[in-house]
């Protein structure tokens, strides 16, 4: 699997599929399978049985989206961000926006 440039907590936009155009925060990344779970995107309904204190019923939860179908999003500029990894002088790796050279949190 290719290197996952999307990290937990990033804001991403879905670029293809049924949820195309929706943005949300990344809840978790499964880099081995190339999947990402995005908040309030690709929501499915699942029937769950009662278990302990939790009642049963229909629950809505996020289904995974493939990493190739999401892109890092800059909400301030309203554009997709393409990044590269740069090693700093202290040896730490930082994601940098290719277009303008600013660091991506």
Domains defined for the chain, CATH in brackets: 11-75 (2.30.30.30)
Residue 54's pLDDT is 94
Residue 76's pLDDT is 87
Tens-place pLDDT, residues 14-71 = 999 999 999 999 999 999 999 999 999 999 999 999 999 999 999 999 999 999 999 9
Q: Please check whether residue 81 is in contact with residue 69, taking contact to mean a CB–CB distance below 8 angstroms.
A: no
The alpha carbon of 19 is separated from its chain's Cα centroid by a whole number of angstroms, namely 13
Residue 105's pLDDT is 80
What spatial distance separates the first Cα and last Cα of the chain, rounded to whole Å?
A: 24
Cα–Cα distances (Å) from 26 to 23, 55, 57, in that order, read 10, 27, 26
Q: Please state, in angstroms and rounded to a whole number, the distance separating the CA atoms of residues 57 and 69.
A: 31
Residue 2's pLDDT is 63
Tokens of 47: 């029937």
Higher pLDDT, 50 or 4: 50
The residue length of the chain stands at 105
Residue 27's pLDDT is 98
Confidence band for 1, pLDDT divided at 50, 70 and 90: low
Confidence band for 8, pLDDT divided at 50, 70 and 90: very high
């Amino acid at each position: 699997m290719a290197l996952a440039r999307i990290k937990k907590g990033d804001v991403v936009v879905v670029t293809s599929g049924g949820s195309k155009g929706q943005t949300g925060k990344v809840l978790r990344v499964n880099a081995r399978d190339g999947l990402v779970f995005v908040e309030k995107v690709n929501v499915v309904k699942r029937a769950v049985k009662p278990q302990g204190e939790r009642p049963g019923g229909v629950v809505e939860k996020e289904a995974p989206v493939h990493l190739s179908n999401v892109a890092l999003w800059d909400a301030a500029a309203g554009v997709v961000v393409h990044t590269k990894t740069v090693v700093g002088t202290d040896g730490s790796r930082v994601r940098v926006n290719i277009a303008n050279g600013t660091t991506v949190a």
